[in-house]
Amino acid sequence: MQSARRFTYTIVGDAGVGKTCLERQFTSRTFQEVHDLTIGVEFSTRTINVDDKRIKLDICDTAGHEAFVPITKQFYCGAACIILVYDITRRETFDHIAILLERARELSRAGVTLALIGNKCDLSHMRAVSYEEGREFAKRHDLVFMETSAKTTQNVDEAFILAAERIYKKVQVGVLDLPEKVCLSACLVQYAGKAKDWLSTGWQPTYFASLSKLRNLWQALELSNLGMPICWIANFWHKMGRWK
C-alpha cells in the first residue's frame, strides 16, 4: 500500500476556545466538558482520504496562554495549515484573531492554508460574534471558514477535511511545496542524560513521565528525517513539581 502524504496542522487560539476539544473530537471521537488546559503542545494524528489519496494529518494542538508563545511559535513554520480558533460566545477571542493571523503570516511557509473556526456554535443563544462577521473576516483575509461544535460534532470533520482539500490542490498545482518527510523544529524541555536514548527509539509515542530529570529550560531540536513526531508534550509543565 502506498504510504500516505503528511499534512501538518497547527491549531492556535486563546485559552478555553476549544482547540483541544476540536482536536480530540476529530482524531479520537471523544469530548470532555472539562479537561486540563494544554501546557505546551499536544500531538495527535488521523488519516483521511482526499481525491482517493491517503493523507495523514498530524495535528499540533498548542497552548493558548500567552506565556507559551515562544514555544508554540516553533510550530508555525512546518505547518501546511494553521487553524485559528475563537469562541463565538467570547468576543475577545475573536478580536484577538487579527494578532494571531499576523503572527501566522509572519512565521509560516509560503502557500500555507489558513483556516478560521468559530467554535461552540451549539451555544448560539450566547453568541457574541455573528456568523456573518466571522465569514466576512475570513473572506477579507482569504481564510477557510466554518463554525463548529466540538460537543455535538457539527462541522468538525468538515472543517479539517476542507482545509486538507485546499492543501492538496495547492500541492497539485505547485503553489505549496511539501517534503515527503516533515522536518519540524519542536520546542522540548531541556533535560539531563536522556535525550540520546529517547530519540534513538525512533520517537515512539511516549510521555515525559519516563524522564527522571526535567528542567524548566527550553531548547529547539531539529527532528530531521524523523517525520512528524506523534508524541505528547502536553500537560507536563505543572507536573514537573511531582518529578523533582
pLDDT in tens, 100-140: 999 999 998 889 999 999 999 999 999 999 999 999 999 99
pLDDT at 55 over 80: yes
pLDDT at 32 over 70: yes
pLDDT at 57 over 90: yes
pLDDT at 201 over 80: no
pLDDT classification of 164: cutoffs 50, 70, 90: very high
The per-residue b/e assignment along 136-153, b for 16 or more CB within 10 angstroms, e otherwise, is ebbeeeebbbbbbbbbee
CA angle 23, 25, 29 (to 5 degrees): 135
pLDDT at 173 over 80: yes
For the chain, the average pLDDT equals: 76
**Structural domains of the chain, ranges and CATH numbers in brackets:** 5-173 (3.40.50.300), 185-224+234-243 (no CATH)
Say which residue, 39 or 215, is predicted with more confidence: 39
Q: What is the DSSP annotation of 136-198?
A: HHHHHTT-EEEE--TTT-TTHHHHHHHHHHHHHHHHHHTSS---SS---EEEEEEESS-HHHH
